[in-house]
Structure 1
Amino acid sequence: MQEFERKQLLERVEREGATVGADIPETITVQGEELDLRTFVFEIKRRETVPPGERDRVEQAKRNLRRERVERLERIEEGDISHTKGDELAQSIIGIDRALNALENLGPTDIEREQQVKQAADTKRWMSFLKQALGRDDDQSARRGR
């Protein structure tokens, strides 16, 4: 592969919006293991939230996909490969990116944590309201005392 072809492939992979219209690969070999990627992503995406038992599986899949993406990108950057093989790798990287985008944009994965955050925000707003209503706003009290 010529150097300018390598640069074109790398540019295509890194281009913002490269995943628009891209398909998630049906299957992909990640870390030597065959994964039915499209089925996995659609199975997880059709649920509103990731069930507790699936969280670890989803996080592990994302880590493995990121690792595989880096390895394939390095093969384009440093490998002595044909343009056809480089094109296949670039297309697979874009497919991996598409799958990662889908997995990253899942609904809340930790409902308990989200509830705690909401409750803390509600408590903070309530305390702020009470301070103002009772005339105990810390900023105003400090100014009146001077």
Structure 2
Amino acid sequence: MQEYQRKQLLERVDREGATVGAEIPERIAVQGEEIDLHEFVFEIKRRETYPASERERVDRAKKNLRRERLQRRQRIEEGDISFEEGERLARSIVGLDRALNALENLQPTDLEGEAMAQETADKKRWMSFLKQALGHEDTSSGRLGGAGRGR
């Protein structure tokens, strides 16, 4: 491959917005393991939320995809490869980037954690209301209880 061709390919994979219109590869070898990347990404994206147990799986996949992207980019940058091989690698890198973008934009939600946090906040608000209604000490203003006393 000519040096100008190598630079063109590298510029293409590093370009902002390179993934616009790109497709996620159906199957891809990542770190020596064949995975159904398209199916995995859309399985995860179909869900409105995903639990903490799935978050670990997604984080591991993103880490492996980033590592694979870096290795493929280095093959273009440093390898003695043909232009056709470089084109193939560039297309696969853009596909990896597309998958990474999709996985990065997920909104992880721990439904149990959110429910517990909501319940705790509700209890705090209720206790605050009861203290105020019963005239117990209000520590925020420094006044003592007895609503309406002395006024």
CA shift, 1:107, in A, is 1.4
CA contact (8 A) 1:26 1:36 kept: yes
Q: 4+ residue runs of structure 1 moved beyond 3 angstroms?
A: 113-116
**Structure 1 residue 11 and structure 2 residue 11: aligned?**
yes
**Structure 1 residue 29 and structure 2 residue 29: aligned?**
yes
Equivalent residues, number:
124
CA contact (8 A) 1:108 1:114 kept: no
> Deviation per CA, 1:1-28, whole angstroms, max 9, x where unpaired?
0000000000000111100000000000
Q: Name the counterpart of 1:84.
A: 84
| Residue segments in structure 2 that go unaligned for 5+ positions in a row | 125-139, 142-151
Q: Name the counterpart of 2:73.
A: 73
SS of alignment partner, residue 34 of structure 1:
strand
User: Within 1, Cα distance between the matches of 2:31 and 2:12?
Assistant: 24
1:1-146 matches, within 5 Å, as 1-111=1-111, 112=113
SS of alignment partner, residue 74 of structure 2:
helix
CA contact (8 A) 2:51 2:108 kept: no
User: Within 1, Cα distance between the matches of 2:92 and 2:35?
Assistant: 13
SS of alignment partner, residue 77 of structure 2:
helix
Q: Aligned partner of 1:26: which letter?
A: E
CA shift, 1:115, in A, is 7.8
User: Within 2, Cα distance between the matches of 1:115 and 1:42?
Assistant: 29
SS of alignment partner, residue 24 of structure 1:
coil
CA contact (8 A) 1:49 1:109 kept: yes
| Residue segments in structure 1 that go unaligned for 5+ positions in a row | 124-134, 137-146
CA 1:15–1:41: 2 relative to 1, 3 Å: same
CA shift, 1:108, in A, is 2.6
CA 1:113–1:43: 2 relative to 1, 3 Å: same
Identity in percent: 68
CA shift, 1:50, in A, is 1.5
CA shift, 1:114, in A, is 10
User: Within 1, Cα distance between the matches of 2:18 and 2:102?
Assistant: 14
SS of alignment partner, residue 80 of structure 1:
coil
SS of alignment partner, residue 34 of structure 2:
strand
